[in-house]
Chain A
Amino acid sequence: MKTETRSEQFDPPSLLGNILRKLHIDIPLFIGLLLIALLSFVILYSAGSQDMDVLMRQAARIGLAFFLMTALAHVNPYQFKRYSALLFGLGILLLLAVLIMGQFGKGAQRWLDLGFFRFQPSEMIKITTPMMVAWYLAEHSLPPKPKQLLIAGLLIIIPTLLIAKQPDLGTALLVASSGAGVLFFAGLSWRFILAISTILTGLTPILWHFMRPYQRDRVLTFLNPEADPLGRGYHIIQSKIAIGSGGIYGKGWLGSTQSELDFLPESSTDFIFAVFAEEFGLFGCVSLLTLYLLVIGRCLYIAAQAQDTYSRLLASSLAFTFFVYVFVNIGMVIGVLPVVGVPLPLISYGGTSVVTLLAGFGILMSIHTHKKFIPHS
């Protein structure tokens, strides 16, 4: 295995290879992401009523995100580790600022207005939480001891609760799972995982008590969409009709009738998978899932190849969170999970999530392209 690593680092020098090494880009991951982004344009054109403005705005956003990814890939992973705690602390302070400012505004408050652009601290915390937990656990030997588990648990729960209070259930879920992912890869014992799952199930009634009315609505609607066909259940009913009517091969590109006829709300954002499934059928859906799995597989490979604990934990958790995105979004659109505001990664229109996601992949590339030899003694 060690000789393999060696040979990878000492490829025969070629012009392309040299350029790519200078760019710190991981080719398989880059190609996978590019394919998904291109697919995003294809579906958005159809879902967004063939509006070129929508495409241009999305292109600008994805362009910026790819640029940020490449920039982060250049940073030495040691720097991420070094600034983990600082960035995490900053993120928490910004979340608190948003909450306090929210007291003066109305309803949901997620942005900090910096004058020239609006910044969503909860996006930043999606990356800094796993960074912080990985940094903390990497300081100690694995698997984590009970005391470390407790502290790591707090590091996850604090940002999660702050975001859930905004209220933004979808992002809170992603932050929690990114932190939990680190714990899982750090070797949290199966017995403990089982115990936590049992306790969480037991806590459900208490959680219910603290939910906002609209959050309760969503859960109730999920359990019985037919009860509220005009309101919340409408999304799920219509999305199931769109997906089911797609069949095996779909109705073809631009062929979706359900989103065109305005039956399907939010067809360009959270429910875009329904449009995709209607136009490209089961065949398309399985292909898209395979593409996602390839990206996730490559990320896990990068994690396995990583040379220090911090990089491993961070890389594997980012890969895992990406999967949570895919699973929660598709699960809600096909009616097996409640509706929480999680976009289909890299495909849904809008949102700052594209930028955050690709920033995460930038970190993964940085980890993979900055490997050093461990001197053997």
Chain B
Amino acid sequence: MSQIYTLKDKLGENRLFLNRIIAALLIILLLTSGLIVRLVYLQIVGHSHYATLAKDNSIKIEPLVPTRGMIYDRKGKVLAENTQSFSLELIPEQIKDLDDTLLRLQKLLNISDEKIEQYQKQRKRQKRFASTSLLMGMNDEEIAKFAVVRPFFPGVDIQASLVRNYPYADLAAHVVGYVGRINEAEMKTLPIAEYRGSSHVGKIGIENAYETELHGKTGYAEIETNVQGRAINTVNSVAPVPGENLYLTLDMDLQKTAYDALGDFNGAVVAIEIKTGGVLVFASRPGFDPNPFVIGIANDAYQALQTSENQPLYNRALRGLYPPGSTMKPFIALAGLEYNAISAEHKLFCPGYYQLPNVSHRYRDWKKTGHGSVNMTDAITESCDVYFYTLASILGIDRMHDFLQNLGFGEKSGIDLTGEKAGLMPSREWKRKQRNQAWYPGETLITGIGQGFLQVTPLQLARATATLANKGKVVTPFLVRNSASPDSLEDEAESHQEDLAFKPENVDKVIQGMINVVHDAHGTAKTIGKGINYQIAGKTGTAQVFSIKQDAKYNENDIDFKLRDHALFISFAPADDPKIAVAVVMENGGHGGSVAAPIAGQVIKQFLGDNNEN
């Protein structure tokens, strides 16, 4: 019975399936006819129209490249501009013997073999009718030499174009950045249409962070061309929208002072205008000249920059990670007051070392004989390590971590540059995750004097100093201003500031300690406090590059330069009405008070002097 049922079913299925095959055939034929109808429409009805477009007078769509926006400093000084430049362009299709032409050009204009090689590489990536530049940035002599013999070089021509130029060269290379040829990886991520005509794109710095604004919007022209591809007539065009001009908060005079003051040391200086968060100085030394990158830097020159042990390409202000050393002490002191862990008047005795209960290890003070009995202000003024070991052990790592993180340590500041480093603000959780180890009490102590795992960028130091000076209103640093006028910065200030709501009397006590650092007879940076009618608040720091063995004596002059301590200094002024905050880091500079503080002093005096004149 069931077998008969299946058999019946099978017959029904057969019929159904064959019906469907026939239906599918009909649908396929119908759709194919549709395609053919469309092909007939294109190839017979529209043939003459499309043939005209394709051959006799074809419409070429040419991109109209927008002019890149300029970059200015706060006083209107030009940091990045577009200058006329001439390049030697070759169209391989129009050249009979390319090798011979290249050889003759090489002799005529003294072109290096490397350049020829570079040209050959680039040429192979392009179509034969595309123009490729052999020589960029030609000087007058080269132009004149070629102009005379031009008729003998069919397919070779001089073309004028706008090339990016950075008048300040190495002075602000890291922050302004540079543009370079679009590479293959960038080709994939950039919007195709917008960059159809562009050859360059911002690689680092402001040029990179504000690429969209600086680039502008590409327009296009529909150009009628003849058989040879020569343009006859523009049918229709949409003009490009030039890139925006950017006005930075940077002050190039201050930048130069800071950059020069660093001298031969590697290091960074960051200065922030406290009221707005506008960055006044963003210097990283050694610098490099960004201009060769625009026309394509020679390989050996690039290798030299890459392999130099001073790492000139490295933006130390933004990405340099340093142990903050004693510059951390004012923040730890404020944490102690805010958490009611200690009173500012409470005196601690410093014998020159600190011991944890039941542990023989002695945590040394930088002053072997000790500071004696010190209160908080004294401890900041003289940078007493033992006081801060004690305070750190009272606070504990958890509270220190939370407090310092609020000040921006271990987090990106959010400045409008790409590639910022967040540094490291250690915590129990971090150590368990990263190293699978428990947190040791000794590590709390050395965090209290800015050593150990703690790593900060110069930008973070300047920002935290500015926030402290601003009585807890968090300062967010930025470089590009909303307004284009060089005068007012008021429009971008304060509105969105987060307030850490520190008690004013607590902040005042810490600031008093920092004033004493500069203006007290015992202050570690007293050299810079002379001859001014306002007060500077500061704190020196000396960060150990390596740890010194117990009881081993060392002499700064004896040890290898690269192992010498980093010198740091944070400061703001005027102390009673803070306007500018400055952080200085000098790699292997030795003691912070003697080398780093004077640089901050110079920047502050110049800024406030300038400001007073206005």
Per-residue CB proximity of B13-38 to A under 8 Å, as 1/0? 10011101100110011011011101
Chain B residue contacts of A185, Cβ below 8 A: 17, 20-21, 24
Which B1-60 residues sit within 8 Å CB-CB of chain A? 9, 13, 16-18, 20-21, 24-25, 28-29, 31-32, 34-36, 38-40, 42-44, 46-47, 49-51, 53-55, 58, 60
Which B222-245 residues sit within 8 Å CB-CB of chain A? 222, 229
A316 touches B43 (CB 8 A): no
B54 touches A257 (CB 8 A): yes
B24 touches A316 (CB 8 A): yes
Chain B residue contacts of A303, Cβ below 8 A: 21
Q: Is the interface of B mostly helix, strand, loop or mixed?
A: helix
Q: Which of A232, A243, A304, A336 contacts B21 (CB 8 A)?
A: A304
A149 interface residue (CB < 8 Å to B): no
Q: State in angstroms the CA–CA spacing of A228 and B36 once bound together.
A: 27
Per-residue CB proximity of A297-322 to B under 8 Å, as 1/0? 10010011000010010001001100
A247 touches B43 (CB 8 A): yes
Tally A-B pairs: CB < 8 A: 128
Chain B residue contacts of A143, Cβ below 8 A: 16
B218 touches A316 (CB 8 A): no
A242 interface residue (CB < 8 Å to B): yes
User: Given A230-B61, A286-B36, A293-B32, do A309 and B13 touch, yes or no (CB 8 Å)?
Assistant: yes
- Give the distance to chain A from B193, nearest Cβ to Cβ, in Å: 3
B63 touches A230 (CB 8 A): yes
User: Given A229-B222, A277-B39, do A247 and B21 touch, yes or no (CB 8 Å)?
Assistant: no
A245 touches B54 (CB 8 A): yes
Which residue of B20, B55, B127, B196 has the most chain A CB atoms within 10 A of its CB atom? B20
**Interface size on B (CB < 8 Å)?**
45
Which residue of B36, B39, B40, B129 has the most chain A CB atoms within 10 A of its CB atom? B39
Q: Which of A141, A228, A320, A330 contacts B13 (CB 8 A)?
A: A141
User: Given A229-B222, A262-B127, do A142 and B55 touch, yes or no (CB 8 Å)?
Assistant: no
Q: State in angstroms the CA–CA spacing of A312 and B196 once bound together.
A: 50
Chain A residue contacts of B192, Cβ below 8 A: 231
B403 interface residue (CB < 8 Å to A): no
A187 touches B63 (CB 8 A): no
Chain A residue contacts of B42, Cβ below 8 A: 240, 243-244, 334
A285 interface residue (CB < 8 Å to B): yes
User: Given A231-B193, A336-B38, do A245 and B55 touch, yes or no (CB 8 Å)?
Assistant: yes
Chain B residue contacts of A141, Cβ below 8 A: 9, 13
Q: State in angstroms the CA–CA spacing of A334 and B31 once bound together.
A: 14
Q: Which of B18, B29, B39 contacts A243 (CB 8 A)?
A: B39
A282 touches B40 (CB 8 A): yes
B53 touches A300 (CB 8 A): no
User: Given A228-B193, A230-B196, do A312 and B17 touch, yes or no (CB 8 Å)?
Assistant: yes
Closest residue of A by beta carbon distance from B193: A231
User: Given A187-B17, A242-B54, do A330 and B35 touch, yes or no (CB 8 Å)?
Assistant: yes
Closest residue of B by beta carbon distance from A290: B32
B220 interface residue (CB < 8 Å to A): yes
B39 touches A285 (CB 8 A): yes
Closest residue of A by beta carbon distance from B191: A231
Which residue of A241, A285, A330 has the most chain B CB atoms within 10 A of its CB atom? A241
Chain A residue contacts of B191, Cβ below 8 A: 231
Q: State in angstroms the CA–CA spacing of A228 and B217 once bound together.
A: 13
A316 touches B16 (CB 8 A): no
Which A229-256 residues sit within 8 Å CB-CB of chain B? 229-232, 234, 240-248
User: Given A234-B61, A277-B43, do A289 and B36 touch, yes or no (CB 8 Å)?
Assistant: yes
A297 touches B25 (CB 8 A): yes
Q: State in angstroms the CA–CA spacing of A142 and B12 once bound together.
A: 8
A245 touches B17 (CB 8 A): no
- Give the distance to chain A from B66, nearest Cβ to Cβ, in Å: 13
Q: Which of B20, B51, B193, B196 contacts A184 (CB 8 A)?
A: B20
Chain A residue contacts of B16, Cβ below 8 A: 142-143, 187
- Give the distance to chain A from B51, nearest Cβ to Cβ, in Å: 4
- Give the distance to chain A from B310, nearest Cβ to Cβ, in Å: 33
Q: State in angstroms the CA–CA spacing of A286 and B43 once bound together.
A: 12
Closest residue of A by beta carbon distance from B129: A261
Chain B residue contacts of A309, Cβ below 8 A: 13
Which A170-218 residues sit within 8 Å CB-CB of chain B? 184-185, 187
- Give the distance to chain B from A242, nearest Cβ to Cβ, in Å: 7
Closest residue of A by beta carbon distance from B13: A142
A323 interface residue (CB < 8 Å to B): yes
Closest residue of B by beta carbon distance from A231: B193
Per-residue CB proximity of A271-289 to B under 8 Å, as 1/0? 0000001000110011001
Q: Which of A245, A285, A316, A323 contacts B51 (CB 8 A)?
A: A245
- Give the distance to chain B from A15, nearest Cβ to Cβ, in Å: 34
A320 touches B17 (CB 8 A): no
Closest residue of B by beta carbon distance from A319: B24
Chain B residue contacts of A285, Cβ below 8 A: 36, 39, 43
Closest residue of B by beta carbon distance from A230: B193
Q: State in angstroms the CA–CA spacing of A277 and B28 once bound together.
A: 21
Chain B residue contacts of A231, Cβ below 8 A: 191-193
Q: State in angstroms the CA–CA spacing of A261 and B229 once bound together.
A: 10
Q: Which of B44, B51, B58, B61 contacts A229 (CB 8 A)?
A: B61
- Give the distance to chain B from A277, nearest Cβ to Cβ, in Å: 7
A245 touches B21 (CB 8 A): no
Q: State in angstroms the CA–CA spacing of A39 and B46 once bound together.
A: 26
Chain B residue contacts of A234, Cβ below 8 A: 61, 193
Q: State in angstroms the CA–CA spacing of A329 and B136 once bound together.
A: 44
Q: State in angstroms the CA–CA spacing of A296 and B191 once bound together.
A: 40
Which residue of B35, B42, B191 has the most chain A CB atoms within 10 A of its CB atom? B42
A247 touches B24 (CB 8 A): no
Closest residue of A by beta carbon distance from B227: A257
User: Given A240-B50, A245-B55, do A230 and B43 touch, yes or no (CB 8 Å)?
Assistant: no
User: Given A257-B55, A327-B35, A330-B35, do A244 and B193 touch, yes or no (CB 8 Å)?
Assistant: no
Q: State in angstroms the CA–CA spacing of A246 and B51 once bound together.
A: 8
User: Given A230-B193, A304-B18, A331-B35, do A243 and B24 touch, yes or no (CB 8 Å)?
Assistant: no
B53 touches A241 (CB 8 A): yes
A258 interface residue (CB < 8 Å to B): yes
**Cross-chain pairs A/B with CB under 8 angstroms, 17 sampled:** A185-B17, A185-B21, A229-B220, A243-B39, A247-B47, A248-B43, A257-B55, A261-B129, A262-B127, A277-B39, A282-B43, A289-B35, A316-B24, A320-B28, A327-B32, A331-B35, A336-B34
**Sample of 15 further A-B pairs with CB below 8 A, known A142-B16, A248-B47:** A141-B13, A228-B193, A229-B220, A230-B196, A230-B218, A234-B61, A243-B39, A244-B49, A247-B47, A247-B51, A293-B32, A296-B28, A300-B24, A316-B21, A323-B31
The 9 closest A-B pairs by CB, nearest first: A244-B50, A231-B193, A245-B54, A230-B193, A282-B43, A244-B42, A187-B16, A245-B51, A245-B50
